Amino acid sequence: MRAITRASASATLLLPILVSGCGLWPFARDRAVQHYVNALSLEQAQLREDAIAELQAAVRWDQQFALAYSRLGGLYQQQGRLEEAAGAYEQACRLDAWAFDDHLSLGKVYQALKRFVQAIEVLKRACTLRPDNPQANYRLGVCYYETGDYEQAARFASRAAQLAPRDDEILASLGDIYTKSGEPHQAITAYKQALEIDPGRADLMLRLGATYLSMKRFEPARLILQKALDAAPDDVEPRLALGYCLLHDNQPESALVQYRRALDIAPANHKTHNGVGVTLMTMYLANRQNRDLGVQALESWHRSLELQSDQPQIKNLIAKYTRELYGQTADLQNLAP
Overall fold of domain 15-96: 1.25.40
- Name the amino acid, one letter, at 178: Y
Overall fold of domain 222-337: 1.25.40
- Nearest-angstrom CA–CA distance, 264 and 256: 12
- Say which CATH class 109-157 falls into: mainly alpha
Closest to 236 in 3D by CA, of 188, 274, 277: 274
- Cβ contact 108:133 at 8 Å: no
- Cβ contact 171:159 at 8 Å: no
All structural domains of the chain with their residue ranges: 15-96, 109-157, 222-337
Counting Cβ atoms within 10 Å, is residue 29 exposed (0-12), middle (13-18) or buried (19+)? middle
- Nearest-angstrom CA–CA distance, 9 and 4: 9
Residues with Cβ within 8 Å of residue 315, at least 6 apart in sequence: 305
- Nearest-angstrom CA–CA distance, 299 and 273: 9
List C-alpha distances in Å: 260 to 33, 68, 284: 66, 58, 17
Model confidence, pTM: 0.81
- Region class of 216: left (phi > 0), else alpha (psi between -120 and 50), else beta: left
Per-residue pLDDT of the chain (337 residues; tens, 9 = 90+): 333 333 333 344 344 444 444 444 777 788 888 888 877 887 888 898 988 898 898 899 888 999 999 999 999 999 999 999 999 999 999 999 999 999 999 999 999 999 999 999 999 999 999 999 999 999 999 999 999 999 999 999 999 999 999 999 999 999 999 999 999 999 999 999 999 999 999 999 999 999 999 999 999 999 999 999 999 999 999 999 999 999 999 999 999 999 999 999 999 999 999 999 999 999 999 998 998 999 999 999 999 999 999 999 999 999 989 886 645 544 555 555 5
- Nearest-angstrom CA–CA distance, 76 and 66: 15
- Name the amino acid, one letter, at 205: M
